[in-house]
Amino acid sequence: MTGDQTLQRQTAPDDNWSTEGGTSQTRRYSSRGRHSRSAKKIFKQRIIILLLSIALIVAVFGWIFASLNLASVKEEYLKYQAENQRELADQKAYENEIALLRSDNEQLLKGIIPGLQPLEFDANIAIEDQYLRNIGFTLTGIGDEKNYEYRVVLQNNGYNVVTPAVKLILFNDRGIQVGSRRLAKTDATTETEFRNLQPNETRSYTGNIELNVPSAEPRYFLVIVE
């Protein structure tokens, strides 16, 4: 056996060992790389799960806060609605009581002053008393500048001449006289030569009723036909 052959035999096992060692080392490096990538992937997943959990917790607390706030607003609204209903009921009861007192007062005044009627504005009030047919009132102005205007229609259905004698009297809510006016020829809406009403003649009158006290509040009226 030559020296070269002996050297080849001695070196051959070393080459095999080197090849096997390199393969094993490559496998270890590959395993470490896969492990590193897997760890990074798991870490990312955990970060995502953590962020989603935080977002979910924030959403839950936000929903709880919104629900509590909505419940508080609803409670305040219900309280306001209940108070408003109580105020309306109290106001209605107060108005009914005032209306009852006015009705009682009106009946009392009518018993004391026969012919007394509630003062209504912008309405024709039919009064069939001799030659008087109807009367109406209009309120103009404000404060102490209020004007109480009247409109009266007279009609003579008889065969004889009639001399009109009509007096209007205003009263406050206590039955105290606060103003009066007697119809005059100058109050006629159309110019007339005579004061008297001729047979079958219809005549209208209009004017203002002066108040004794400018701040008085008339509530009733009385018409006296003579």
Share of the chain above pLDDT 90, in %: 34
Query: Which 3 state secondary structure label does DSSP give 223?
Result: strand
Per-residue pLDDT tens digits for 61-115: 888 888 888 877 877 888 888 888 888 877 877 777 676 666 666 666 766 788 8
Q: What is the pLDDT of residue 39?
A: 73
Bridge pairing between strands 166-171 and 177-182: antiparallel
Q: What is the pLDDT of residue 28?
A: 57
Residues 90, 120: Cα–Cα separation, whole Å: 27
- Average pLDDT rounded to a whole number, residues 160-182: 92
Give every CB contact of residue 130 below 8 A, 6+ residues apart in sequence: 225
Q: Report whether pLDDT(116) > 80.
A: yes
CA neighbours closer than 13 Å in the CB half-sphere of residue 142: 0
* Three-class DSSP labels, 52-103: HHHHHHHHHHHHHHHHHHHHHHHHHHHHHHHHHHHHHHHHHHHHHHHHHHHH
Q: Report whether pLDDT(6) > 50.
A: no
Per-residue pLDDT tens digits for 176-205: 899 999 999 899 988 887 889 999 999 999
pTM over 0.85? The answer is no
**Does the CA dihedral 91-93-94-99 come out positive or negative?**
positive
Q: What is the pLDDT of residue 113?
A: 81
Q: What is the pLDDT of residue 7?
A: 43
Q: What is the pLDDT of residue 101?
A: 63
Per-residue pLDDT tens digits for 38-61: 777 787 888 888 888 888 888 888
Of how many residues is the chain composed? 226
Q: Report whether pLDDT(29) > 90.
A: no
**Does the CA dihedral 49-51-52-53 come out positive or negative?**
positive
Residues 131, 164: Cα–Cα separation, whole Å: 8
Q: Report whether pLDDT(12) > 50.
A: no
Contact 127, 223 (CB under 8 A): yes
In the chain, where are the structural domains located?
1-112, 117-225
Range in 5-14, 122-131, 198-207 with the lowest mean pLDDT: 5-14
Cα 18 → chain centroid: 97
What is the chain's mean pLDDT, rounded? 80
Q: Please report, for residues 154, 169, 201, the alpha-carbon distance to residue 194 in angstroms, rounded to integers and kept in the order given.
A: 14, 25, 12
Query: Which 3 state secondary structure label does DSSP give 186?
Result: helix
CATH of domain 117-225: 2.60.40
Long-range contacts at 33-40 (CB < 8 A, ≥ 24 apart): none
